[in-house]
Amino acid sequence: MDSQRAGDAAYKAVITMWDQYVSPRYDFAPELLVAKIQDRRIIKTRTVIPGCASADENCRLILAEGVQVVVTGAIRRRYFEYLIWKKIRVLDTVRGPWERALELLRLGELGPEAVLYDERGL
Amino acid sequence: MERHRDTAYKPQPDTDEGMVCSLVRLFDRPVEFKKVLDELPLGIVFISLQRRVLQMNSHLECMTGFSADSVTGLPCWDVLRCNQCVNSCLIREAGRSKLPVTRHCDLVNRERRRLGVKITAVPVHDKDGRLSGFMEVVHEDEQAESGRDSLEPQLQLGSFVGRSEQLKKLFRVVPAVAQTDSSVLITGETGTGKDLLAEIIHRNSERFDGPFIKINCGSLPENLLESELFGHSKGAFTGAASDKMGRLRLAHNGSVFLTEIGDLSLTLQIKLLTFLDDKVVHPLGSTKGYQTDVRVIAATHRNLEHMVREGNFRQDLLYRLNVVRLHLPPLREREGDVPLLLDHFLKYFGARFSKSRISFRDRARNFLLHYAYPGNIREIRNIVEYAVNICGGEKIDLEDLPAYLFDQDFPAVNGQEEQSALEGGRVELESGESWPAIERKMILEAMLACRGKKAEAAEWLGWSRSKLWRKIKEHGVE
């Protein structure tokens, strides 16, 4: 989490998206949000729609973008370990709206297995 | 489970102070519902109309890695984490159709392990028929994954054996066709394996655990067939003492195989077409329709296009069935498959009848290699089964083969002519030569092998001497 603290150098994060939520599956995420974060501020965001949703394609894109943090739902062990091996921090089993995940990530307060739904479960 | 910043979210606890669901009035004393669920050897989850988890049993806790308490109130997609959750929600499908929906899919559990599962989503209604929520039943299904992976093009697909180009092409296409939900029309001569192919398609489809119901459209009179297909209500006709479901409803969530579809009467063709359009079954004598989810596979040995031209088959039904068409070639067109099938069936029946060392004598094998097999695979199988049974030693000779093979002229010629008249094309044998040309070649080979001695040549060919004389005259062999 240290690399995401305020005052640190800029870093890139990817949140796998499914509609308004963090995608429950890494390999079937229809969209990826690429965010550049620096000093608790979101510098830039853009959405990438993979031509064909797959875990391999996501890994390729994450490496090509030089991403340091990945936020997602369920991810298979082989892809999780591959990303860790590539020195990428993986926050998996994150459940809830992706906007809330991005906000907590910005603040450096997002961890794995976070539940981000509000009282109404939304 | 560690929860990060989840103070805002409080799931409903299933405690004595909270909600403990009990089954009352079923047994002498009320029993706790969760404890009953926990005894089941399959995963069960109850889901609200808003797709939030209400309750799940311990088996599903093991499968997903999440405790029921920690996920109660969470969206079901964040708990089951199936590929179907993202692609095509089963709950929505079940809610729309108001019927149970079953799919094979995979989930990724908390340990980041992928599990092949079969999930059935069941809509739950209150006593007034209003949708109240859903139940999902989850079976572990590792076989489904490995089964699909193993379907590579090879010499064998299910019980199909062949190395000819036609069969290789079929082996490549069938797994892909099986995965779709489209109607399939299988054509081919009798004995080419249409029933077997239909079953292979079903077994390799998403519906493989559902029923596979076969209906022979040519086996029953029209009225009986209608009742068999669509069912009837009590009192619909004399003798209808009770309601009958009909095979189309029995095939719900599975596949229905309509064999000999070309023998279906025009009246039933219309009714079948209506069913294929809306998938609603209207039993005889009933005003109520029943929605079904059925894949239709049809087969025929007839030329349906020819029947449409003659007005014996509805064109719109042909279009409806003919979404994917698979043609099974006759054995005479499958170059190189006869020796393979002879060896395959010899090995199969040898093992079955405890004659594992049995083999063909050269002349018997040579005879069988040149036979035309108008009955296709069924015939070659029966011939080998007969020969293995009859043969007293370890070498199958000509006298061990069925007598009908020698008692008549090769029946394939007539059979082929009938078929070719139907197809409107000239029949060619597997080598590209016509049958008389091959027969002539056989005689020449036999005469050569027996140094011109006709009696020996006749024996070599497995013919009587008179037949050889007649054939020599017929083909002008000097």
A→B contacts (Cβ < 8 Å), by residue, are: 18, 21, 23-30, 73-77, 80, 92-93, 95, 104, 109-119, 121
Q: What is the DSSP code string of B99-144?
A: S-EEEEEEEE-TTS-EEEEEEEEEEEE-TTS-EEEEEEEEEE-HHH
Using CA coordinates, name the residue in chain A closest to B85: A24
State residue B241's pLDDT score: 73
Give the Cα separation of A95 and A70 in Å (integer).
14
Greatest extent of chain B over all pairs of C-alpha atoms, in Å: 104
- Give B-chain residues touching A58 at CB under 8 angstroms: none
Residues of chain B in contact with residue A80, where contact means CB-CB under 8 angstroms, are 112
Chain B residues within an 8 Å CB radius of A115: 3-4, 6, 9, 74
- Cα separation, A95 vs A116, in Å, equals 6
Residues 6+ apart with CB under 8 A from B376: B189, B190, B191, B192, B193, B330, B331
DSSP B238: T
**Nearest-5° Cα angle at B96, B91 to B99:** 75
Give the gyration radius of chain A's Cα atoms. 13
- pLDDT tier at A37, thresholds 50, 70, 90: very high
Q: What are phi and psi of B307, to 5 degrees?
A: -65, -35
**Residue B81 · residue A25 · CB < 8 Å:** yes
**By CA distance, what is B79's nearest residue in A?**
A24
Residue A64 Cα, gap to closest chain B Cα (Å): 24
| Cβ contact B14:B34 at 8 Å | yes
* Distance (Å, whole) CA B382 – CA B386: 6
For residue A77, what is the nearest residue in chain B, using CA coordinates? B112
B216 CB-contact burial (10 Å; exposed 0-12 / middle 13-18 / buried 19+) = middle
Q: How far is CA B2 from CA B6, B66, B476, in A?
A: 10, 11, 93
Work out the angle between the directed axes of helices B362-370 and B376-390 (0-180°, nearest 10): 160
CB distance B368 to B401 below 8 Å:
yes
Query: pLDDT tens track of chain B, all 478 residues?
Result: 334 444 444 444 444 444 567 788 888 888 888 888 888 878 999 999 999 999 998 888 878 888 888 898 999 999 999 998 988 899 998 988 888 998 888 999 888 888 889 999 999 998 888 999 999 999 887 544 443 333 333 345 566 787 788 888 888 888 888 888 889 999 999 888 898 899 888 888 888 877 788 888 887 888 888 888 888 888 878 777 777 788 888 888 889 999 999 999 998 999 999 998 888 988 888 888 888 889 999 999 999 999 999 999 999 999 999 889 999 999 888 888 888 889 888 988 888 788 888 899 988 888 888 888 888 988 998 999 889 888 888 899 888 888 888 765 544 433 343 333 333 333 334 444 566 777 787 888 888 777 788 888 887 777 778 778 888 877 777 6
Distance in angstroms (rounded) separating the CA atoms of residues A108 and A41: 11
- Gap from A43 CA to chain B (nearest CA, Å): 24
Q: How confident is the model at residue A8 (pLDDT cuts 50, 70, 90)?
A: low
Rounded CA-CA distance A22/B77 in Å is 11
Indicate yes or no: CB of B9 within 8 angstroms of CB of A117: yes
Give the span between the Cα atoms of B83 and B74, in whole angstroms.
18
Q: Which residues of B touch A24 (CB under 8 A)?
A: 77-78, 81, 85-86
Nearest CB to B4 within list A24, A92, A111 = A111
Amino acid at B332: R
Secondary element (H or E) of residue B324: strand B324-328
User: What are the DSSP calls for B270-316, one per residue?
Assistant: HHHHHHHHH-EE--BT-S--EE---EEEEEESS-HHHHHHHTSS-HH
